[in-house]
Amino acid sequence: MKPHLLKVPHKPESSFSVHQNTGQNFYNQWHFHPEIELIYIHKGRGTRFIGNDVHRFEPDELCLFGANLAHMWRCDPEYFVEDSKLKAEVTVIYFHHDFLGERFFSTPELKNIELLLEKAKLGIKIMGKTKAELKPMIKKLQETTGLERVMLLLSILEKIAVSKDREYINTIYQPNKIEPQEADRLNKVFHYISENFQKKISLEEIASVANLSAKAFCRYFKTKTRKTFQDFLLEVKIAHACNLILEKDMTIYEVCYDSGFNNLSNFNRYFKKLMNKTPLEFKKEHRILREVG
């Protein structure tokens, strides 16, 4: 599905931007931008859509996105309830590939970072010891100025570049072409799925949201996302199920039906297909991790 172009504000006195945002949700649109983005989630839980990947996100998540990689972070429904005290908080760093000059990263000394920024077009999740080392550096980045600020950002990128504590979010890079006329329709489709996945969504129903025939919508959706509507819908449901298992005291049977499945056997099969383990195995594994932690 086609995202829209986000124009990131930049201060004239700085070559890159650092933003601290707090609210019920992060930027709640399927979007992309020419800037490279390093994002750290302080608070907030929900579903993230990055390229053609759909997955859960939790607090203490750190990701690097290359230029023009489409993405969106959507907090869970309870963040949007009236009088909700839940808040999402994020630090985002934006910079252009040439923010220090067109050929700056082409120098031999910076080849690790150059390769990192190219691979970041797939989306990179940073974990473990590397993430722990980077968190105070990201915080300090908001407080420094001048050359020290630039050197600190380069140090952050170098640490990520040489680290093994990372995983790629997508397997295929899909560059975006700017087609502003599509943005409104595709965001309607995206939000309709996010808000209605717990009930049955027919092909005709979602096609009408896009103002297309069912047949045309299938072709359209597959072209934009490289997956069928039904596969995408299943990923959203399973991401929701993972959240319920992790955060709620619910039986697998209850999780199944709250996630929009009406058959426990199908739920178990699809969950294992996407997560490589059954819902019960997933629940036991994370219970052990919480006890150890």
Domain with CATH 2.60.120.10 in the chain: 4-168
Query: Tell me: the pLDDT tens digits for 67-108?
Result: 888 888 888 878 888 888 888 999 999 999 988 888 898 888
pLDDT higher at 166 or 226: 166
pLDDT at 21 over 90: no
Reported confidence tier of residue 180, pLDDT bands at 50, 70, 90 = low
Residue 292's pLDDT band, with cuts at 50, 70 and 90, is very low
pLDDT given for residue 23 in this prediction: 83
Q: Which residues contact 278 (CB under 8 A, 6 or more apart)?
A: 268, 271, 272
Whether 115 shows a pLDDT value over 90: the answer reads: yes
- Structure tokens belonging to residue 136: 């105070």
For position 288, what pLDDT does the model report?
A: 59
- Supply the pLDDT for residue 224: 75
Q: Which among 129, 189, 183 has a CA at the least distance from the CA of 160?
A: 129
d(CA 74, CA 205) in angstroms, rounded, equals 22
In this predicted structure, the answer to whether residue 1 has a pLDDT above a threshold of 70 is no
Q: Chain-wide mean pLDDT for the chain?
A: 85
Total Cβ atoms within 10 A of residue 100: 16
pLDDT in tens, 218-235: 998 888 777 899 988 998
- Where, residue-wise, is CATH 1.10.10.60 in the chain? 180-292
Nearest Cα to Cα of residue 45 among 238, 243, 194? 243
Percent of the chain with pLDDT over 70: 88
Radius of gyration of the chain (CA): 20
Place of tokens 């983005």: 37
Task: Return the CATH superfamily for domain 180-292.
Answer: Homeodomain-like (1.10.10.60)
Those residues with Cβ within 8 angstroms of residue 12's Cβ, 6 or more apart along the chain or in another chain = none
**SS3 state at 6:** coil
Q: Yes or no: is domain 4-168 CATH 3.30.1300.30?
A: no
Write down the pLDDT at residue 181: 57
Phi-psi region of 211 (alpha: psi -120 to 50; beta: other; left: phi over 0): left
